[in-house]
Amino acid sequence: MLQKDVLVIGAGPAGLAASIEAGKYGASTLLVDLNMQPGGQLFKQIHKFFGSSAHRSGTRGYDIGKQLLQEAQEANVEIWMQSTVIGIFPEHKVAIEKGLDSGKKEMITIQAKKIIIATGASENAIRFNGWTTPGVMGAGAAQTMINVNHVKPGQQIVMLGTGNVGLIVSYQLMQAGCDVVSLIEAAPKIGGYAVHAAKIRRAGVPIRLRHTIIEAKKGENGCVCGCVIAEVNEHFQPIPGTEETIACDTIALAAGLKPTMDLVKLAGCKLTFNGPFGGYIPLHNDRMETSCLGIFVAGDTTGVEEANTALEEGKIAGISVAEDLGLISPDTASNQRKEIWERLHSLRLGPFGERRMQEKEAVMKEYETCIGAPIPIQ
């Protein structure tokens, strides 16, 4: 069986940052991911990031991705793509299926002293009549098509949801040459940042608040040819008689994300339910260690936030495993973590961030009271 100091699962911002820290201090580090290319969702983020100018803000997401891949190489991180973790067993034995769906797959078992799970999040679906019709897709899927694969998912887009994902992807669809017909939002106010909404409105695109999509219209080709929207009441129920049909060939759903928990559950980590963070998440301490000894988490898996918070959490996890492997002193690790927590704190301020800061603190407090110290996987 292949032996590694550290196995990191998920090559997005959190997993890359964690691998870089662990690798940099000399841990033999393997990073695995099921996709074709590393970077997670960073390479489809073509906008300039918010945050502190001291830490890569103002830089476009894909450039941050390129920098991370460079740093991972310098830190001797081994990266396996098209590799799916399908089992986590006691003593940190992990089964990995490697290879393309279309080719021959290989089953590899490895044992790692430490495991970092950074599997990110997946998009929520909204179910309305016809929601499975081809042409209805996640906003992130549309974003991947235009910005990574350079193919438009369709020409006329209706976006459901006005959180930052809905607003940013709408803008980027227009940059790619699509027509965004309308944004539809059930809430009485726009969910995302005003500056993102302002870009949409300047472009002349209407934002329909207190409305939802109740049906995707299927054309003769079996694909979306329009949608029916309706006004909703204060209980988010459609009001009969307010229906309108909008012609479109694509309906993009931006209804939030939920942490991808499969492996966290498989490992047996203790969970908690947290609405603002998107659903069930693993309890973890301020070192990003879960209830399972030697199993760490970082990024959206621990609660849906943003790439910049995922990067910082990844660093904390990487530093903590380096510490536990005896590669850096507890003092050094503790000081570095302190600096990162201060940066995370500043990213979680203001009307959009405070709630996440409170929830993060609550998760770590629950860890201290319910678990105290991590225990080996049973």
Partner 1 sequence: MCLRVKNHVILDCEHTGKEVEILVDGKVIKAFEGEPVLAALLNAGIKINRYTVKRKEPRGLFCGIGQCTDCAMVVDGKANVRTCITPVQAGMVIQTQDGLSKGE
Partner 2 sequence: MALINTGYLEYDELKNIQTLPDDERFSKGPVAIIECVQEIPCNPCEAACHFGAIQVGEPITNLPTLIGEKCIGCGMCVARCPGLAIVVVDKTCSDTTATVSFPFEYYPIPTVGEERKALNRKGEIVCSGKIVKVVNPASYDHTPVVTVEIPKEFADEVRTVERV
User: Which positions lie near partner 2, rule CB under 8 A?
Assistant: 47-53, 57-60, 174-175, 177, 188-190, 193-205, 207, 209, 346-353
The minimum distance between CB 152 and partner 1, in angstroms, equals 4
Half-sphere exposure at residue 109, Cβ-oriented, CA atoms within 13 angstroms: 8
Sign of CA dihedral 49, 51, 57, 63: negative
Binding segment toward partner 1, per CB under 8 A, in 129-137, 228-236, 237-245, 317-325 = 129-137
CB of 335 to partner 1, least distance (A): 37
154 sits near partner 1 (criterion: CB under 8 A): yes
- Closer to partner 2 by Cβ: residue 327 or 357: 357
226 interacts with partner 1 by CB under 8 A: no
Partner in contact with 12, chosen from partner 1, partner 2, none, beta carbon below 5 to 8 Å by kind: none
- Least Å distance between CB 112 and partner 1? 23
Residue 354 Cβ vs partner 2, minimum distance, rounded to whole Å: 9
Q: Which of 39, 51, 65, 135 binds partner 1 (CB under 8 A)?
A: 135
Q: What is the dihedral of CA 369, 373, 377, 378, to 10 degrees?
A: -70
Residue 266 Cβ vs partner 2, minimum distance, rounded to whole Å:
34
Helices (H), 215-274: 262-267
- In whole angstroms, give the CA distance from residue 87 to residue 66: 30
DSSP annotation string for 128-142: -BTTTSTTEEEHHHH
Integer Cα distance of 75 and 333 in angstroms: 18
Among 20, 75, 110, 146, binds partner 1 (CB under 8 A): 146
**Total site size for partner 1, rule CB under 8 A:** 41
Stretch that binds partner 1, among 33-41, 163-171, 195-203, 304-312 (CB under 8 A): 33-41
Asked if 90 and 378 touch (Cβ cutoff 8 Å), the reply is yes
d(CA 168, CA 175): 11
Cα torsion angle, 268, 80, 258, 23, sign: positive
Q: Which is nearer to partner 2, 83 or 170 (CB)?
A: 170
Query: Which residues ranging from 63 to 102 are in contact with partner 1 (CB under 8 A)?
Result: 82, 100-102
Query: Are the beta carbons of 357 and 303 closer than 8 angstroms?
Result: no
Nearest distance in Å: CB 358, partner 1? 30
CA distances from 131 to 20, 136, 223 (A): 40, 6, 11
Q: Which residues bind partner 1 (CB under 8 A)?
A: 34-36, 41, 46, 60, 82, 100-102, 122-123, 125, 132-138, 140-142, 144-147, 149-155, 175-177, 221-223, 260
